[in-house]
């Protein structure tokens, strides 16, 4: 089975749109997201545009604060403080990566945790760790939602996550654990990776290397979730999993594009609605 992230995402966005209208009726204002972008990184520009467009589609208010690449730490902190104190702003997202001269950790710490719709603030990371999250990190939350809506329950399953980044691998492992999976996390120092991945009933891959997971690394009947967004030898968008080879082995698999990708912004919308409700 191919897990259709585009269709599932469209379904959830329609639900959020309905919830948004009910929210506006009850409260008299729209959920509002402010996205901050510093500099002209082309990929970041596309992401920010897509986030603003998605907000519009579900009926949220959105604002993009575009700052020049020379912006100082003090200027950015002052903007975050202003947004923190603005009751008309419910969600704040600082598009990463920031230019190198800026201190990313300090900026993420500065965002009011109640407006931290990316869930990158250490307070929200800690809440996730102890099993009492307010906001869920968007990409791993998107994976959980894909599983849930495809009727796949991690409870009691062997779950293997390849990758241990703060934005995908680690929170992914925590969410699978919270859903009662038996979780193993792999990384670049894992020995005999294929032997570990072959044990997975649910294999989630977030490595950032095109077609890294081959057919020999997957147990027949496994569920394979591909978070990767890479370029193949022809410059075409592809994932971390060799989809053509693994599709026939897996019981369910996400394609790239059209799998996890569309879910990330959808979960951002969900967090923004939650922030407004709070």
Residues that bind ligand NAP (CB under 6 A): 139, 162-165, 167-169, 186-190, 193, 206-208, 227-230, 260-261, 264
**N-to-C CA span, the chain:** 38
Nearest-approach distance from CB 140 to ligand NAP, in angstroms: 9
**Nearest residue to ligand NAP, by Cβ distance, number only:** 165
Query: Which of these, 203, 133, 136, lies nearest to 167 by C-alpha position?
Result: 136
Q: Which is nearer to ligand NAP, 83 or 246 (by Cβ)? A: 246
Nearer to ligand NAP, 71 or 169 (CB): 169
Annotation marks residue 73 as catalytic: no
Q: Which of 202, 195, 206 is nearest to 157 (CA)?
A: 202
Least distance in Å: CB of 241 to ligand NAP? Answer: 11
Of 207 and 222, the one with the shorter C-beta distance to ligand NAP is 207
Tokens of 257: 């594009």
Q: Is 270 a catalytic residue?
A: no
Looking at beta carbons only, is 30 or 51 nearer to ligand NAP?
Answer: 51
Give the nearest distance from C-beta 165 to ligand NAP in angstroms: 3
Distance between CA atoms of residues 75 and 57, nearest Å? 31
- 95, 201, 211, 226: the catalytic one is 95
Is residue 45 among the annotated active site residues?
no
Instruction: Please report how close the Cβ of residue 1 comes to ligand NAP at its closest, in angstroms.
Output: 19
Residue 178 CB neighbours (<10 A):
15
Least Å from the CB of residue 168 to ligand NAP: 4
Which of 4, 116, 118, 201 is catalytic? The answer is 118
- Closer residue to ligand NAP in complex, CB, 84/165: 165
Write down the catalytic residue from 4, 51, 116, 211: 51
> Scanning the structure block, which residue is given the tokens 């799998």?
259
Q: Give the orientation angle of helix 42-58 with respect to helix 261-277, to 10 degrees.
A: 60
Q: Is 193 left (phi over 0), alpha (psi -120 to 50) or beta?
A: alpha
Q: Which is nearer to ligand NAP, 229 or 275 (CB)?
A: 229
Return the active site residues.
51, 95, 118
């Amino acid at each position: 089975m191919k897990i259709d992230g585009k269709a599932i995402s469209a379904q959830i966005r329609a639900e959020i749109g309905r919830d948004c209208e009910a929210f506006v009726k009850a409260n008299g204002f729209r959920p509002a997201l402010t996205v901050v972008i510093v500099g002209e990184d082309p990929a970041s520009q596309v992401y920010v545009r897509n986030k603003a467009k998605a907000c519009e589609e579900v009926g949220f208010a959105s604002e993009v604060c575009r700052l020049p690449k020379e912006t100082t730490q003090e200027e950015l902190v002052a903007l975050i403080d202003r947004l923190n104190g603005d009751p008309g702003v419910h969600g704040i997202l600082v598009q990463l990566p920031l230019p190198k001269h800026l201190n990313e950790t300090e900026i993420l710490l500065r965002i009011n945790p109640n407006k931290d719709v990316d869930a990158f603030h250490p307070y929200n990371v800690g809440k996730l760790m102890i099993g009492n999250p307010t906001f869920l990190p968007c990409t791993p939350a998107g994976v959980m939602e894909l599983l849930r809506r495809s009727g796949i329950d991690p409870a009691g399953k062997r779950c293997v996550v390849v990758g241990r980044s703060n934005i995908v691998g680690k929170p992914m492992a925590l969410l699978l654990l919270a859903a009662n999976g038996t979780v193993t996390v792999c990384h670049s120092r894992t020995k005999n990776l294929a032997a570990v991945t072959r044990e997975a009933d649910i294999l989630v891959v977030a490595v950032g290397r095109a077609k890294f997971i081959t057919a020999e690394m997957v147990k027949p009947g496994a569920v394979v979730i591909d978070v990767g967004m890479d370029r193949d030898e022809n410059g075409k968008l592809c994932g971390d999993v060799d989809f053509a080879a693994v599709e026939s082995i897996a019981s369910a698999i996400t394609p790239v594009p059209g799998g996890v990708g569309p879910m990330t912004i959808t979960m951002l919308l969900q967090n923004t609605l939650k922030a407004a409700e709070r």
